Structure 1
Amino acid sequence: MSKKRKLVLFIASSLDGYIATKDESLEWLFKVEGEGDNGFADFYETVDTVLMGKRTYDWVMKQDIKEFPYKNKECYVFTRSAVEDTENVQFVNDDVTHFVHKLKDQEGKNIWIVGGGELLQSFIQEKLVNELILTVAPTILGKGIPLFKEGDYQLDLSLKGTRNFNQFVELHYEIKN
């Protein structure tokens, strides 16, 4: 019997819990002195599937990038509208819970939730998320796009580990069920 794949959030946030400014800027994040790629490459090797919402996908596509950043992974973008699949992305407007359970039951590496917001909220409320890897920047934004939206849920976590990347601190939690 193979072990079930995990759904993992890997993301950076400000100390006060924001993942971007109100205008979706990450400039504050790039001002922080990190170390290497702050653990990204190691994490990226543990996943073979990437999930994101349409808003995050649109933000990624607006960046000045030469090629799609998740090219060597299965990439699914959840959307409420009908969008044509691309070479790199399959757009999904199926039931989130059913779709993720199907992915978790397949053979493979872990599944990465890219971004926060609506999709993360749905995953949390449906108890689909297994781990959180949060890299905290020594910055307080005061307002912006929150990592965790207000809602009717509570997560109990167990700390798996911490790492420092110069000014960043990575907190790795497992979600208790």
Structure 2
Amino acid sequence: MNRSRKIVLFIAISIDGYIARPDGDISWLDDVQGEGDNGYSEFIQSVDTVVMGKKTYDDVLKLTNNQYPYEGKTSYIFTRKETSTNLNLVFTNENPAAFAEKLKSEEGSDIWLVGGADLLDSFMKEKLVDEYIITTAPIILGDGIPLFKANNPEIKLNQKSTRQYGEFVQYHYVHA
């Protein structure tokens, strides 16, 4: 049986909807008491492909001392500049809708839309995200990089589950 691959957003936010401070800093997540790895291990086993923007890619490398954490997963990095392939790392500037259609038609597990906000926005405007797994941290940042930008289409969702990991609360939504 060939099941369709899904594009899944898996991300953490502040209560007021920010994924980072204005300068991109996410250290506030370290101040929240979680439980284990807050569902990350379970989630990462469900995907074989990661998709992110170039700024998010650069931030991931900074956070991990240039040790790319998604080895063994095919990674697509959306960039306005270079396009190249290096092992399982593909830099692309494809149209998101054509890209998603091609990727979903291939055999494999689900696809993790890592971020950032600009890439998510382009995927949302084309209604390409199938599931949203959003983990909320008990902090109000007051300003920062919002998860959702203005002028997105209305998207009706059903809540699939809610889980608590220490102080974090994770909401899992699917299309209605």
Q: TM-score, normalised by structure 1?
A: 0.95
Q: Which amino acid aligns with 2:17?
A: G
- In 2, distance between residues paired with 1:163 and 1:40? 12
For structure 2, the residue ranges without an aligned partner over 5 or more in a row are none
Q: CA deviation at 1:93?
A: 1.1
Q: CA deviation at 1:66?
A: 5.7
Q: CA deviation at 1:62?
A: 1.9
Q: Which amino acid aligns with 1:163?
A: R
Structure 2 contact 8–133 (Cα < 8 Å) conserved:
yes
* RMSD of equivalent CA atoms: 1.3
For structure 1, the residue ranges without an aligned partner over 5 or more in a row are none
**Is 2:43 the partner of 1:43?**
yes
- In 1, distance between residues paired with 2:62 and 2:68? 11
Q: CA deviation at 1:87?
A: 3.6
Structure 1 partner of 2:101 = 101
1:65 alignment partner, SS class = coil
Q: Tell me how many residue pairs correspond in the alignment.
A: 176
Change (3 A) 1:52 1:167: same
Q: CA deviation at 1:127?
A: 1.0
Q: Which amino acid aligns with 1:149?
A: K
Structure 2 partner of 1:160 = 160
**Is 2:138 the partner of 1:138?**
yes
**Is 2:79 the partner of 1:54?**
no
- In 1, distance between residues paired with 2:70 and 2:15? 27
Structure 2 contact 83–93 (Cα < 8 Å) conserved:
no
* Greater shift in the superposed pair: 115-124 or 79-88: 79-88
- In 1, distance between residues paired with 2:84 and 2:126? 27
Q: CA deviation at 1:88?
A: 4.2
Q: Percent identity?
A: 50
Change (3 A) 1:166 1:32: same
Q: TM-score, normalised by structure 2?
A: 0.95
Q: CA deviation at 1:68?
A: 1.0
